[in-house]
Amino acid sequence: MAGSLLLFQNDLRIEDHPALHAARTEADWVCPLFVWSPADEKPWAPGAASRWWLHHSLLALQERLAGRGAPLVIRSGDVSETVQAIAKETGAESVYWSARYEPHTAALQSDLRKDLQKRGLKVRIFPGRTLFDPSTLLNKSHEPFQVFTPFWRSCVARIEESGLPQAIPTPRHLTPPPRRVRSQEVADLGLLPKIPWDAEFGPTWKPGEEGAHKRLRHLLGIAAQYHDLRNRPDLDGTSALSPHLHFGEITPRQIAQAVLDEFGVTPQEWSRLPEGPRVFLAEIGWREFAHAVLYHFPQTDRAPLKSKFEAFPWKYAQRPLRTWQRGLTGYPIVDAGMRQLWRTGWMHNRVRMIVGSFLTKDLLQSWQAGAEWFWDTLVDADLANNTLGWQWISGCGADASPYFRIFNPIMQGRRYDPEGSYIRQWVPELAKLPADVIHEPWTAAPEVLSGAGVVLGETYPQPMVDHAAARVEALEALAKTKEARD
């Protein structure tokens, strides 16, 4: 009997899974395998929040696979050695997995494939994490795209011409190896924090396919208004699908197809979609763009795409960085976002831009420092998305926001959290302030502060910088950077 190993990585699902389908149909039995090997993932081993999600996602996957008849085998150690050992133990002749495109994991995949093939194992690698293979996404000059709009226009044209990939059938039954394979428990991997800082993660999230499809149903319910809701952190107006996408609990193909079906539109009729769902699907497009940029410019996980920014005079000071991380900057919308991040492992996308601008332009701290903090604290810490986002807001990446576009945290707060509801939720010491001063409490009359129980400098900090002065300093730093490169 010919058997196969299915190596799970960031594809923790059984629905719409090309590698699983092939492993099941091309062999007599399949052994699902997950290998925890953070050493192999360096320098981008999963951060603390991602490890929390991974623990619970593995439990959910374990349950689904067991229900189909093939238990998930969990091991820790070197991936190549582990796969070879289990192949020898079970007699498996082939190994299947889903492609990953991050620079460090792509190199690991290549080495793993060579190692396994040298030992006589058949290796097959399948798509699944993105709509398109990033290596195929080039402009008319056969160069990588660096601007989003023509990139996404090209992707949509491809969809209109060829449709979306076909859905992969979900297996009703999986035949396991002839003899039982030893497995560790998920708890043995030590993914959960020893100090319970994750108390609010459980009530906030449901990792796994079931949770992913619940969030998809939420998205479909708001999709018609998505373009109006998406920038409002005080409302549940986004999909919050990003961690589910990162861990492969749902595919972008499934999401795109569900949106099209909801509005009765075929892929060839993409342009007929109303504004709301079109805007949402463009967010899926940004994810595609992020993966394509990182694939074609692998140095950008650490270095700016626009090389002139290598000379930018960042301050690299620990105290302001730590103040920002703790949500004690004195700017309520910034502090609300940083506290939401710490307590739930997630932050609204509009607020990510606000806090990113504040760190890199008001505090002149490097985008890399922000990216590293997000990497450790986000449950959706995706290397491509995280890199593109931070380089965009700091002005040094693909299709970047110009450096001179500096977000005013007061105006951003007033515009996108008009009643201060988001701030009241995450900065409760300001909860009793009226909406007209909650975004800049230092302007409130003494009796208003007193009535709200706010003592600036004691119960809530004074602003750590003056935004107007910080903006001038940031623009001067940019001017010096340009002069140094000219």
Catalytic site residue 286? Answer: yes
Cα distances from 177 to residues 60, 260, 411, 461, in angstroms, run 21, 39, 61, 61
Catalytic residue among 26, 89, 93, 283: 283
DSSP conformation class of 138: B
CB 151 within 8 A of CB 136: no
Can you tell me the distance from the alpha carbon of 42 to that of 288, in angstroms, rounded to the nearest whole number? 23
Structure-token pair, residue 99: 């492609």
Q: Which amino acid is at 61?
A: L
Structure-token pair, residue 306: 């626009």
Catalytic site residue 269? Answer: no
In a 13 Å sphere around the CA of 86, the CA atoms on its Cβ side amount to 29
Catalytic residue among 160, 349, 408, 473: 349
CB 286 within 8 A of CB 148: yes
Place of tokens 């699983």: 20
Catalytic residue among 205, 367, 373, 375: 367
Place of tokens 């969809």: 159
Rounded to a whole number, what is the distance in angstroms from the first to the last CA of the chain? 67
- Residue 201 phi/psi, 5-degree rounding, is -65, -50
Structure-token pair, residue 264: 């009765």
- Count CB-CB contacts under 10 A for residue 295: 19
Catalytic site residue 97? Answer: no
Catalytic residue among 44, 197, 314, 442: 314
CB 371 within 8 A of CB 387: yes
Cα distances from 112 to residues 77, 83, 89, 298, in angstroms, run 14, 9, 18, 19
Catalytic site residue 375? Answer: no
Q: How far is CA 199 from the centre of its chain?
A: 21
Can you tell me the distance from the alpha carbon of 465 to that of 210, in angstroms, rounded to the nearest whole number? 44
Catalytic site residue 390? Answer: yes
The sign of the CA dihedral 233, 234, 239, 240 is positive
* Residues with Cβ within 8 Å of residue 426, at least 6 apart in sequence: 327, 335, 336, 337, 339, 340, 343
Catalytic residue among 390, 392, 426, 440: 390
* Residues with Cβ within 8 Å of residue 447, at least 6 apart in sequence: none
DSSP conformation class of 247: T
- Count CB-CB contacts under 10 A for residue 485: 12
Catalytic positions, written as ranges: 283, 286, 314, 349, 367, 390
